[in-house]
């Protein structure tokens, strides 16, 4: 049986290739994701262990809670420098050294900020190299004077800095110039995950980061013979409340875990895309096996006639599926490792350098890849295999003409019911709004309806195209689609899945773009909005002070953000100046008033107030990671926080008292009366020459910026989804090739009675276009409705408006038709080259 299955597989290398490709894409996505995340996890572990190598104990403030590293940068309250001596006096301590970190943005030779996408730009005091084992000077030496700096080797390399160059750095407090005395590496890599780092001696760093007399943490090395845990306990006994001692290993593990958590979402998103590819792939496989069985009906019938049991036939087909699945799984695994390396290089290109390590292929990855490959293939092959067992031995004696799919009346009805229920559900979701899970469920039900009613839809499509000249191209193509309605439907549905998701994403993105524009035009009252350039961390508060001194500026309102807990719920908390708040932004106050807003008060979005069950005048508890809990009074509730992405707004002094970082996320500015907006923008831009990391934007600029970042995201997501569409196109090619092979005699006959090669190609091409259009129309329709419902469901996330990008959707339809034409090129050529004599030869 195995030999027969193997031989069957090798009969058509093209068919094998297409089937394997369909599974492999999905599997390589899955294994690539696993390998990438495992590799990165391993690399981070190694990196953190390397960095804390030599440090046995770390002393620092105890955070009130572990906030997400992305919302507060892991900052803890600085501690008194005097504690360093206190720790050094503990018996068993060999070395103890305080260190500080803070915001430091290096400028390149042209004065432009060096800001790798998304990665932090930070500065630090450079401690004792004995305390951080993998920290090495690639060139030069340690900075010891207040005008000296050492930077990471990667930044130096990219900006073309050499030792002795003058380097400008922007801090919270302003801009300063230093001399480059050293370049730093971290073990094998030249930067910390692409972050830029500027290192100073401790005193200088304390001054620059506004932490004079303070340190963020104390690194301790134990004397020989003293265990890290023992020393930790000894030190902890001497520490005041709110300060903790941790072992170096613990710190490394925590740090690595925090970064890995932040990257977890990335892994999940990739797995979702992998899932979509696999779903599309399974349709293609189902189809392939269906055709494979249909094609071999005579062979199966002959085997049955000579005594093969149904079980043997079933096992034979499933064995083929098993072989294909295992092979594809293995191939996908191999490609996945390559894919992971590819994504890494891609990340490196955009400036996120991953620490190097060998690719981590965990046993779980291997099992997952093979299991996914085999399961998807086997499940997809079960129905066709079952159909094979229904072949009567008598069929061996008849002429093999592909059976016409008989109309399943009950199937059409069931499909219709599902379709109606699903669409009704989606419409209900659109009307009601805010129904995430119902939206997803209704989409799935509608899709199930499409699957069940698929053959009926394919027949309807065929009927719609079945006109014009008798025997002319569209008619014959339509009849072929109709004859194998089930296969045509499955082929089209593979495309439907891909397009549904692509279109839903496109509609959501369009809605988000509109919502952003609305938020700016509806909620903004300021003339200018200052923001950090690129993916910068923030704007120095010195900028706000500079603006307040200007005559052409009336209102300056700073906006800061941090992760915190409100009544126990983790959330992003914003802070703004109370003075002028109502003049720069319309928060859409619903209850209460801005007049009572100030220190000790908080503004809460209507939705969150409802969730927490609080109203104006009630108290809420805000817990900051650095300092702990504070009780605040709700001054007002608001409905339009979309512009500043805020659910809670505090007064700035409260924020500053609880958060060390003084960076502004944005500064909202009103020009003085009589100042021309364009002129104002120009003047302020000129005045901020020392802060090249700040952009001065008009409200229109902000809309444009936000929209272009939505577009960028849309581009990335669409690119990932296109892989699924590519698989679907492979499916169309597959179906066409098989139906051409199946119809060799028909095609030969057509050629014999005077069909030109071109006419034969046309028939195949039109068949392809019909299937593509069926997939495209259903996909775009379902995607549009789901997208609208999804946008309505995400009203809380800032989707205040619903927009349907009709031009984009029309383009998708056209592209789908074009894809149909392209997919048909190979099969059509093959069809037109059918050998007439062989095709019509009597047996």
Residue 461 or 637 with smaller CB distance to other proteins: 461
DSSP-derived letter for residue 554 is: E
Three-class DSSP category at 805: coil
Three-class DSSP category at 440: helix
Residues 466, 463: Cα–Cα separation, whole Å: 5
Contact 193, 260 (CB under 8 A): no
Report the nearest approach of other proteins to the CB of residue 745 (Å). Answer: 5
Residue 260 or 757 with smaller CB distance to other proteins: 757
Residues 229, 152: Cα–Cα separation, whole Å: 32
Residue 521 or 756 with smaller CB distance to other proteins: 756
Report the nearest approach of other proteins to the CB of residue 409 (Å). Answer: 20
DSSP-derived letter for residue 282 is: H
Residue 641 or 748 with smaller CB distance to other proteins: 748
Three-class DSSP category at 59: strand
Report the nearest approach of other proteins to the CB of residue 754 (Å). Answer: 2
Report the nearest approach of other proteins to the CB of residue 476 (Å). Answer: 7
Report the nearest approach of other proteins to the CB of residue 839 (Å). Answer: 9
Residues 275, 272: Cα–Cα separation, whole Å: 5
Report the nearest approach of other proteins to the CB of residue 304 (Å). Answer: 23
Task: Judge residue 842's burial from the number of C-beta atoms within 10 Å of its C-beta, 0-12 exposed, 13-18 middle, 19 or more buried.
Answer: exposed
- Both structure tokens of 279: 């779903």
Report the nearest approach of other proteins to the CB of residue 403 (Å). Answer: 10
Residue 69 or 481 with smaller CB distance to other proteins: 481
Residues 179, 119: Cα–Cα separation, whole Å: 24
Report the nearest approach of other proteins to the CB of residue 738 (Å). Answer: 17
SS3 content of the chain, % helix, strand, coil (to 5): 60, 20, 25
Residue 71 or 759 with smaller CB distance to other proteins: 759
Q: For 193, left (φ over 0), alpha (ψ -120 to 50), or beta?
A: left
Residues 719, 141: Cα–Cα separation, whole Å: 46
Give how far Cα 501 sits from Cα of 280, 433, 721, 792, 808, Å.
Answer: 11, 20, 8, 16, 14
Residues 426, 432: Cα–Cα separation, whole Å: 10
Report the nearest approach of other proteins to the CB of residue 461 (Å). Answer: 15
Residues 39, 33: Cα–Cα separation, whole Å: 10
Total count of residues recorded for the chain: 843
Residue 383 or 841 with smaller CB distance to other proteins: 841
Report the nearest approach of other proteins to the CB of residue 298 (Å). Answer: 14
Report the nearest approach of other proteins to the CB of residue 471 (Å). Answer: 3
Contact 561, 574 (CB under 8 A): yes
* Partners of residue 221 on adjacent β-strands: 95
Residue 476 or 529 with smaller CB distance to other proteins: 476
Report the nearest approach of other proteins to the CB of residue 480 (Å). Answer: 6
Report the nearest approach of other proteins to the CB of residue 491 (Å). Answer: 18
In 3D space, the residue among 779, 770, 773 whose CA is nearest the CA of residue 736 turns out to be: 770
Look-up of token digits 């091409």: 765
In 3D space, the residue among 630, 635, 640 whose CA is nearest the CA of residue 562 turns out to be: 630
Residue 216 or 482 with smaller CB distance to other proteins: 482
- For the chain, the straight-line distance linking the first and the last C-alpha, in angstroms and rounded, comes to 28
Residues 468, 7: Cα–Cα separation, whole Å: 44
Residue 401 or 431 with smaller CB distance to other proteins: 401
Residues 277, 778: Cα–Cα separation, whole Å: 18
Contacts with other proteins by CB under 8 A lie at 399, 401, 404, 469-472, 475-476, 479-480, 482-483, 745-746, 749-757, 759, 836-837, 840, 842-843
- Both structure tokens of 812: 């998708």
Residue 699 or 827 with smaller CB distance to other proteins: 827
Residue 296 or 751 with smaller CB distance to other proteins: 751
Look-up of token digits 């089930």: 486
Residue 480 or 605 with smaller CB distance to other proteins: 480
Task: Judge residue 790's burial from the number of C-beta atoms within 10 Å of its C-beta, 0-12 exposed, 13-18 middle, 19 or more buried.
Answer: buried
């Amino acid at each position: 049986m195995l030999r027969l299955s193997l031989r069957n597989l090798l009969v058509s290398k093209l068919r094998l290739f297409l089937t394997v490709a369909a599974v492999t894409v999905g599997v390589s996505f899955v294994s690539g994701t696993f390998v990438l995340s495992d590799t990165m996890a391993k690399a981070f572990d190694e990196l953190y262990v390397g960095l804390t190598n030599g440090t046995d104990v770390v002393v620092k403030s105890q955070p009130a809670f572990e906030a997400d590293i992305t919302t507060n940068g892991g900052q803890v309250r600085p501690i008194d420098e005097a504690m360093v001596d206190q720790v050094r006096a503990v018996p068993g301590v060999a070395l103890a050294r305080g260190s500080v970190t803070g915001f430091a943005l290096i400028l390149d030779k042209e004065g432009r900020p060096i800001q790798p996408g998304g990665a932090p730009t930070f500065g630090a005091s450079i401690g004792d190299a004995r305390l951080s084992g993998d920290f090495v000077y690639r060139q030069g030496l340690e900075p010891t004077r207040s005008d000296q700096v050492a930077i990471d080797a990667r930044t130096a390399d990219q900006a073309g800095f050499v030792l002795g160059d003058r380097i400008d750095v922007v801090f919270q407090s302003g801009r300063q110039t230093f001399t480059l005395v050293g370049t730093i590496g971290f073990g094998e890599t030249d930067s910390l995950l692409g972050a830029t780092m500027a290192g100073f001696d401790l005193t200088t760093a304390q001054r620059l980061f506004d932490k004079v007399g303070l340190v963020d943490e104390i690194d301790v090395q134990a004397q020989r013979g003293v265990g890290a845990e023992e020393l930790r306990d000894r030190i902890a006994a001497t520490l005041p409340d709110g300060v903790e001692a941790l072992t170096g290993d613990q710190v490394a593990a925590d740090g690595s875990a925090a970064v890995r958590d932040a990257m977890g979402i990335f892994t999940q998103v990739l797995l979702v895309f992998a899932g979509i590819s696999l779903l599309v792939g399974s349709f293609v496989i189902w189809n392939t096996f269906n055709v494979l069985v249909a094609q071999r009906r005579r062979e199966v019938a002959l085997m049955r006639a000579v005594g093969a049991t149904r079980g043997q036939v079933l096992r034979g087909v499933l064995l083929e599926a098993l072989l294909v699945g295992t092979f594809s799984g293995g191939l996908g695994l191999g490609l996945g490792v390559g894919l992971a390396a590819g994504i890494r290089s891609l990340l490196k290109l955009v400036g996120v350098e991953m620490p190097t390590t060998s690719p981590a292929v965990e046993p779980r990855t291997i099992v997952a890849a093979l299991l996914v490959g085999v399961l998807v293939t086997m499940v997809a092959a079960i129905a066709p295999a079952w159909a094979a067992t229904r072949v009567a031995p008598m069929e061996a004696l008849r002429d093999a003409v592909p059976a016409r799919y008989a109309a399943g009346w009950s199937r059409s009805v069931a499909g219709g019911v599902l379709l109606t229920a699903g669409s009704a559900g989606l419409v209900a979701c659109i009307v009601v709004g805010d129904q995430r899970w119902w939206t997803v469920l209704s989409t799935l039900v509608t899709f199930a309806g499409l699957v069940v009613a698929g053959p009926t839809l394919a027949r309807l499509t065929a009927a719609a195209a079945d006109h014009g000249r008798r025997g002319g191209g569209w008619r014959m193509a339509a009849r072929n689609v109709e004859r194998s309605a089930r296969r045509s439907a499955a082929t089209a549905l593979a495309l439907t899945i891909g397009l549904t998701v692509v279109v839903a994403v496109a509609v959501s993105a369009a809605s988000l773009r509109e919502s952003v524009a609305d938020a700016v035009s509806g909620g903004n009252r300021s003339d200018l909005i200052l923001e950090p350039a690129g993916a910068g961390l923030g704007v120095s508060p010195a900028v706000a002070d500079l603006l307040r001194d200007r005559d052409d500026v009336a209102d300056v309102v700073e906006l800061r953000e941090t992760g915190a807990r409100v009544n126990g719920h983790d959330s992003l908390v914003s802070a703004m100046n109370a003075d002028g708040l109502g003049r720069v932004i319309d928060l859409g106050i619903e209850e209460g008033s801005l007049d009572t807003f100030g220190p000790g008060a908080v503004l809460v979005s209507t939705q969150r107030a409802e969730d927490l069950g609080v109203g104006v005048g009630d108290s809420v508890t805000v817990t900051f990671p650095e300092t702990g809990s504070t009780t605040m009074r709700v001054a007002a509730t608001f409905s339009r926080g979309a512009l500043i992405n805020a659910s809670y707004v505090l007064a700035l002094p409260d924020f500053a008292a609880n958060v060390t970082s003084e960076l502004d996320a944005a500064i909202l500015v009103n020009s003085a009366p009589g100042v021309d907006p364009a002129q104002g923008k120009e003047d302020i831009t000129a005045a901020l020459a020392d802060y090249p990391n700040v952009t001065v934007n008009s409200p229109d600029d902000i809309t444009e910026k936000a929209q272009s970042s939505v577009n960028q995201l849309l581009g990335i997501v669409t690119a990932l989804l296109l892989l699924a569409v590519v698989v679907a196109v492979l499916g169309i090619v597959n179906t066409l090739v098989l139906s051409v092979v199946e119809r060799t005699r028909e095609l030969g006959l057509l050629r014999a009675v005077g069909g030109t090669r071109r006419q034969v190609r046309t028939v195949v091409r039109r068949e392809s276009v019909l299937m593509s259009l069926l997939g495209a129309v259903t996909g775009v329709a379902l995607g549009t409705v789901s997208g609208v419902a999804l946008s309505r469901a995400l009203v809380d996330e800032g989707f205040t408006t619903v927009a349907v990008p009709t031009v984009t959707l029309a383009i998708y339809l056209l592209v789908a038709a074009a894809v149909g034409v392209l997919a048909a090129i190979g099969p059509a050529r093959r069809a037109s080259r059918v050998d007439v004599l062989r095709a019509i030869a009597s047996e």
